[in-house]
Amino acid sequence: MAPQWCVQAPVVGVATTLDDYAQWVLHPQLPERPTQPHSSYFICGTPRSGSWLLCGLLASTGIAGRPHEWFWRDTEQANCRAWGVSRFSDYVARVRDAGTTPNGVFGSKLMWVYLDELLARLRELGDSASHRSVIERHFANPRFVWIWREDVTAQAVSWAKAIQTGRWHHWNATDPSAVLVYDREQIEALADEVVESNARWRTWFAANEIQPLAVRFEDLVADKIAPTCEVLEFLGLASECIAVAERTIKTSDHTNEEWLGRYRAHASEGRLG
């Protein structure tokens, strides 16, 4: 049973178990009576930064939208098939329906790797002068939450393992043919990519005069409720006596610890040499 920090009656339409949430992530449904969003937010980050952990916590409240990685190509392709849409403009409209809770709040994940592509596709739906304004044209009153991980090496190790196993989250099956191999160069390259992407996020926020709410992964892991309530308050949502529950399962294990130890040992040897 996932932990809850405030007792509250279940909210209609909210996944109440880990399995329910996993099924929703894999097969998001369109609501029978969509709500027009009056506010929006994007959880910005990099792979293995804890973005799905935060998405699940926020989704569990029933008042903070239904954040999903709506614009990742695999997700978009699966949803287009399931929802019977082919035009991007129709997909964006359906995403607003699926990602909005009855109180009119829309939520989405947004990774740096496909931000430029998304902006270009949105711009094709109607000219707009800046990155921020093109988002505002399609998503009401957008706000931005930036989740980042201080331990970049641990993040890179987690990323490398996910690539090798094909298991990114508890709803993904592990590739039975996968053979885990410690690869220092792969970890190093992914760590460099995290650092570069975080720097680009900071530059993008500054260039577009965006003040994101920064959430540190390590703080979120240590105390799920405080950072979640901080996000709710940032979004202008009441956070008192709101049920908050984990909807994801930690996937790190002894392999993460082993690879992290080996990588840091190599780094130490390099400094000593």
In a domain, 160, yes or no: no
> How much is the pLDDT for 171?
87
Mean pLDDT by 10 residues, the chain (273 residues): 39 70 95 96 98 97 96 97 97 98 97 96 83 91 98 98 92 83 97 98 96 98 95 89 86 94 84 45
User: What is the extent of the structural domain holding 219?
Assistant: 18-150+197-250
Token digits for 201?
């996020």
In a domain, 56, yes or no: yes
> Which is nearest to 243 in space by CA: 100, 59, 101, 102?
59
Distance, in Å, from the CA atom of 168 to the CA atom of 158, rounded to the nearest integer, reads: 9
- Per DSSP, the three-state class of 134 is helix
Q: What is the CATH number of the domain that holds 119?
A: 3.40.50.300
Q: Are 143 and 39 spatial neighbours (Cβ–Cβ below 8 Å)?
A: yes
Which residues share a beta bridge with 195? none
Number of domains comprising the chain: 1
In a domain, 13, yes or no: no
Phi, psi of 261 (to 5 degrees): -65, -45
Which residues share a beta bridge with 105? 39
> How much is the pLDDT for 58?
97
> How much is the pLDDT for 15?
67
What is the number of helices (H) and of strands (E) in the chain? 11, 4
In a domain, 217, yes or no: yes
- From residue 227, alpha-carbon distances to 124, 215, 221, 231, 251 in Å are 36, 7, 9, 6, 21
Phi, psi of 148 (to 5 degrees): -140, 160
In a domain, 192, yes or no: no
Specify the pTM: 0.91
> How much is the pLDDT for 273?
43
> Which is nearest to 45 in space by CA: 64, 28, 69, 61?
69
Distance, in Å, from the CA atom of 200 to the CA atom of 236, rounded to the nearest integer, reads: 27
In a domain, 214, yes or no: yes
In a domain, 170, yes or no: no
In a domain, 58, yes or no: yes
